[in-house]
Amino acid sequence: MTREILLLAHTGRRDAVEAAVTVAERLHSAGLRPVMMERDIASLNHVIGDRLREVSLAVAEREVALADCEVGMVLGGDGSILRAADLVRGAGLPLMGVNLGHVGFLAESERTELDASVQWVVDQNYTVERRMALDVQVWHAGRHVGSSWALNEASIEKQSRERMIDLIIEIDGRPVSAFGCDGVVMATPTGSTAYAFSAGGPVVWPEVQALVMVPISAHALFSRPLVTDPDSIMAVEVLQREDEQGVLWCDGRRFMELPPGSRVEVTRSAEPVLLARVHQTPFSERLVDKFNLPTSGWRGPVDPANQVETPDAFHRGEVAKR
């Protein structure tokens, strides 16, 4: 039985196109069948001509169902991986990202590891990590008017540059605070290093089960980021003020206008996003690498074998007054 591998690339970038050609050829040579979306094949052929004439590219959703693919290789940055996650939603397909962009927090490997990434897929040398996603529901005037989902975050933002938007935030059916602001971000642990991070939110390790709510430039005494139970219901309401139009963005890709009185509810989705992982490096190391954080002077933990027993240096009792 032929193994089929979904290949997704940012076909508007020449480096991604060349990477897609390389991956398709390597997969074909290894006896695997590369699968691409029809529009991506057309874009690819427009740039490279008939360079892939010897490769039997299959058309996704017409010749091969997404759910029948073994894994999806995504060539691009985090934006490409977010687009891929949206495309394969519901197919149960793990995604392996090869970073051709800048930070690439969601990617598993860098462009220098392109050949190795193909070999990992050929050898099935990866594990599958489940990342929490969000379900997003929108209400207005007592009516359900829209639904979406997000891997990183759902953000409610002001539509006008000239003025703030008045919002009230709610956790588990109880109002927490109301304020004028530029918006509110509701994020997963995965999204804590994206928009929520830029808004001043905490970095949450991906393994932590939690939801994050971060006000953006709020004019209030209490405007701290909140970390809630993963089963909490987070909500934001646009207050009934004149011309208080807002907009809801999901992963910066899907949007919906929010008239005054709109209500957005966010909960943990029952369907996680699957990421193919090879590197078992701690998240702290990934954090340092991606943000290029300074760590000079670090000495590391003391080796118990070399530990010298000394008297306890802690003092008991009150600190002497000076």
Pairing of the two strands 95-99 and 109-110: parallel
281 is in an annotated binding site: no
With 0-12 / 13-18 / 19 or more C-beta atoms within 10 angstroms meaning exposed / middle / buried, residue 139 is: middle
On whether 305 is known to bind a ligand per the annotation, the reply is no
For residue 270 the two structure tokens come to 């029952």
Q: Is 153 among the annotated ligand-binding positions?
A: yes
Q: What string of DSSP letters covers 170-209?
A: EETTEEEEEEEESEEEEE-TGGGGTHHHHTTPPP--TTS-
Q: What's phi and psi for 239, nearest 5 deg?
A: -65, 155
Q: Is 78 a catalytic residue?
A: yes
In angstroms, rounded to a whole number, what is the distance separating the alpha carbons of residues 69 and 157?
37
Q: Is 197 part of any known ligand binding site? A: yes
**Neighbour tally for 295: CB within 10 Å:** 8
CA 66, CA 41: separation in Å to the nearest integer?
16
E-only strand ranges, the chain = 4-9, 33-36, 58-59, 72-76, 95-99, 109-110, 127-131, 134-140, 143-150, 153-158, 165-171, 174-181, 183-187, 211-216, 226-228, 234-238, 246-250, 254-258, 263-268, 273-277
Q: Does the annotation list 182 as a binding residue?
A: yes
The one catalytic residue among 15, 40, 68, 78: 78
> Binding residue per annotation — 196?
yes
Does 198 carry a binding-site annotation? yes
Would the annotation count 163 as a binding residue?
yes
> Is 9 a known ligand-binding residue?
no
Binding residues: 78-79, 83, 152-153, 163, 182, 193-198
Binding residues for NAD(+): 78-79, 83, 152-153, 163, 182, 193-198
Looking at the annotation, which residues are catalytic? 78
